């Protein structure tokens, strides 16, 4: 349970850091690239297993880490595009509703328990995600542009599902740090390619603050992945329970932090969502 709690706290801190990027005029894309580089080093430093490039390349999870690295940087960009074209509310709903993909995967592939309380909790969690995400005066018009919200929904769900599958199928004891480091290494590589393309197009201006911001984000980002993997590796809860609690708790905490620290206003629907989120977490945990 402590690993799940630490993952939730780390993921919530990511939200805070992104908010501070805007306040301190930090270039988000550059900080994201430095974040992945930092997170990669965190994985290498915390690993108890000696670093062996040849062994990593020959490992069964190597290509999975490569694909996940690509997905990490790609889905972030899709999230930005979705926010610009469809609005932040749509992007938030698409991301958090994706929890249904790893939940269904866990139930049908791993035959995880599906009691009445658990199913009710998962259903309430999905409803809570919608109510917490919807903003006042926000217009939802998925018909006008379905492509990017659908890609974001599927991509976020595939990332969570893939992490669980690789952790269960291929990772050996103590292999989480190296696996995480490899994912972040590939994400950094793809990000560097994007920056190089921007430089060639003369659409690049280096922001020194992005190094510090990226370093802080990288440590927190690594912690969020490391602890969710540790939580999935623990036998206390199954994956469908972990992903439900993780996603709903993060959304609930970020909403409350936005209210307290950034004076963001919560509508009546938002408060209903927070209430449902608390009930859903209790039901899934008790189940």
pLDDT at 138 over 60: no
Rounded CA separation 105/108 (Å)? 5
Task: Kindly indicate the confidence band of residue 230, based on its pLDDT and cuts at 50, 70 and 90.
Answer: confident
pLDDT at position 150: 79
The pair phi, psi for residue 50, each rounded to 5°, is -65, 145
Mean pLDDT of 212-218: 93
Helices 209-233 and 176-200: crossing angle in degrees, nearest 10, is: 150
What is the pLDDT at residue 107?
79
Residue 94 has pLDDT above 80, yes or no: no
In angstroms, the CA 277 to CA 247 distance is: 10
What is the pLDDT confidence band of residue 34, given thresholds at 50, 70 and 90? very high
Higher pLDDT: 37 or 98? It is 37
Distances, alpha carbon 238 to alpha carbons 78, 91, 186, 227, 243, in Å:
29, 27, 29, 15, 9
Which DSSP letter does residue 24 get?
Answer: T
What is the H or E stretch that residue 50 is in? none
- pLDDT value at residue 15: 76
Q: Is the pLDDT of residue 88 over 60?
A: no
Residue-wise pLDDT tens digits, 48-85 = 777 778 888 988 899 999 999 999 888 877 876 776 56
Q: DSSP character for 26?
A: -
The stretch 203-222 carries a mean pLDDT of 91
Q: Which residue has the tokens 């189940």?
A: 287
Asked whether residue 144 carries a pLDDT value surpassing 60, the answer given is no
CA of 242: how far to CAs of 40, 102, 143, 264, in Å?
24, 10, 32, 28
| Cβ proximity of 227 and 4 under 8 Å | yes
Q: Is the pLDDT score of 169 beyond 70?
A: yes
What mean pLDDT comes out for the span 129-134? Answer: 70
Q: In angstroms, rounded to a whole number, what is the distance separating the alpha carbons of residues 171 and 163?
A: 10
Among candidate residues 101, 103, 138, the one with its CA nearest the CA of residue 270: 138
Q: Is the pLDDT of residue 93 over 70?
A: no
pLDDT at 18: 78
- Residues near 264 by Cβ (< 8 Å), separated by ≥ 6? 255, 258
pLDDT of residue 136: 62
Percent of all residues in the chain with a pLDDT value above 70, rounded to a whole number: 87
Asked if pLDDT for residue 193 goes beyond 90, the answer is yes
Residues 11 and 250: beta-carbon distance below 8 Å: yes
Distance CA 14, CA 128 (A): 21
pLDDT value of residue 256? 79
Q: What predicted TM-score, i.e. pTM, was given to this entire model?
A: 0.80
SS3 content of the chain, % helix, strand, coil (to 5): 80, 0, 20
**CA distances for 1 relative to 236, 247, 279, 283, angstroms:** 8, 15, 18, 15
Least confident of 94-108, 136-150, 154-168, 236-250: 136-150
């Amino acid at each position: 349970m402590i690993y799940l709690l630490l993952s939730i706290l780390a993921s919530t801190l990511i939200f805070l850091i992104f908010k501070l990027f805007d306040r301190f005029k930090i270039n988000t894309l550059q900080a994201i690239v430095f974040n992945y580089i930092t997170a990669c080093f965190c994985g290498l430093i915390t690993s108890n297993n000696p670093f062996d490039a040849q062994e990593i390349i020959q490992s069964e999870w190597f290509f999975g880490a490569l694909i996940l690295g690509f997905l990490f940087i790609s889905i972030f960009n899709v999230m930005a595009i979705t926010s610009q074209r469809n609005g932040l509310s749509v992007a938030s709903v698409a991301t958090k509703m994706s929890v249904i993909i790893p939940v269904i995967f866990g139930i049908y592939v791993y035959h995880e328990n599906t009691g009445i309380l658990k199913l009710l909790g998962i259903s309430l969690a999905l409803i809570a995600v919608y109510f917490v995400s919807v903003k006042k005066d926000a217009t939802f018009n998925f018909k006008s542009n379905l492509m990017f919200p659908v890609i974001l929904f599927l991509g976020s769900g595939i990332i969570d599902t893939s992490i669980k599958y690789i952790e269960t199928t291929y990772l050996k004891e103590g292999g989480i740090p190296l696996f995480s480091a490899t994912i972040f290494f590939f994400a950094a590589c793809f990000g560097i390619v994007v920056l190089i393309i921007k430089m060639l197009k003369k659409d690049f201006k280096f922001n020194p603050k992005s190094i510090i911001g990226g370093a802080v984000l990288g440590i927190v980002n690594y912690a969020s992945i490391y602890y969710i993997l540790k939580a999935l590796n623990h036998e206390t809860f199954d994956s469908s329970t972990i992903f439900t609690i993780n996603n709903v708790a993060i959304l609930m905490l970020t909403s409350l932090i936005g209210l307290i620290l950034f004076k963001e206003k919560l509508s009546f629907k938002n408060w209903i969502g927070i209430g449902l989120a608390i009930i859903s977490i209790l039901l899934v945990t008790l189940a």
